[in-house]
Amino acid sequence: MIKISPSVLTADFLELAASLKELEAAGADMLHLDVMDGIFVPNISFGLPVIRSIKKHTSLPLDVHLMIDRPHRYIKEFAEVSDWLGFHYEAGSPVAETLKEIKGFGVKSCLTIKPKTDPREIFPYLELADMILVMSVEPGFGGQTFMPSALEKLRILKAESIKRGLDIELEIDGGINGQTARLAVDAGATVLVVGSYLFNAQNMQETVKELKSIDD
């Protein structure tokens, strides 16, 4: 079944405790937390203190997405609060070593690619990653329009994973709604990061159910 990872960045932070409970009841599988430094991406979001607080108030696994420059400098600290920990292929860290370090802390590793990156560039690292995150918008801001070019990236990564006999989660983030979610799942996505479409929904539980049933 498709996994749903709600993007906390689009939540109302003053109502976050209530939203966390609602997401748990709705059947979300994990929480997607975007950490932005204003350098690798133009926006600034939140860091370790906020994530530690969220971890205390939810039973959902934390899917932490580092949109920061040279993320290898902070792997130990973020691994302590993450269940899944991802960083960008393009962010200036030694990719293989960083993936190994994440896994060494007992955390599942995720390698992320931006919209302009050819997925074939990360083929050498597939055996080291538990999940690949394909960005379907330019990273840094929520509410953007889905980029259809992400679908071919998913197809390429899925085909290569099958060829190698790898059981890798394929996650997609950006512009996900009822229509684009179906396209992404058909292309190979197994984890959907959902922001505005979920948090602006009148019925969060029905929206999660709708998205998770796409591949039924």
- pLDDT score for 139: 85
Among left, alpha and beta (phi > 0; psi -120 to 50; other), residue 185 is alpha
Comparing C-alpha atoms, which of 176, 177, 139, 138 is closest to residue 45? 139
Residues 19-50 pLDDT 10s: 999 999 999 999 999 999 999 999 999 999 99
**What are residue 191's DSSP bridge partners?**
3, 171
- Of 83, 167, 173, 186, which is the active-site residue? 173
Known catalytic residue at 34: yes
pTM value is: 0.95
Q: What's the whole-number mean pLDDT along residues 4-9?
A: 96
- Of 34, 37, 63, 130, which is the active-site residue? 34
- pLDDT score for 34: 96
Residue-range domain boundaries for the chain: 3-212
Q: What's the whole-number mean pLDDT along residues 203-213?
A: 94
- pLDDT score for 208: 96
Residue 173 and residue 192: Cα distance in Å, rounded? Answer: 7
- pLDDT score for 180: 97
**What are residue 133's DSSP bridge partners?**
112, 171
Residue 96 and residue 190: Cα distance in Å, rounded? Answer: 23
Known catalytic residue at 173: yes
3-212 is classed CATH 3.20.20.70: yes
- pLDDT score for 1: 84
The overall average pLDDT reported for the chain is: 95
Assess whether pLDDT exceeds 90 at residue 118.
yes
Assess whether pLDDT exceeds 70 at residue 109.
yes
Residues 141-195 pLDDT 10s: 656 789 999 999 999 999 999 999 999 999 999 999 999 999 999 999 999 999 9
> Percent of the chain having pLDDT more than 70?
98
Token pair in block for residue 23 = 């997401």
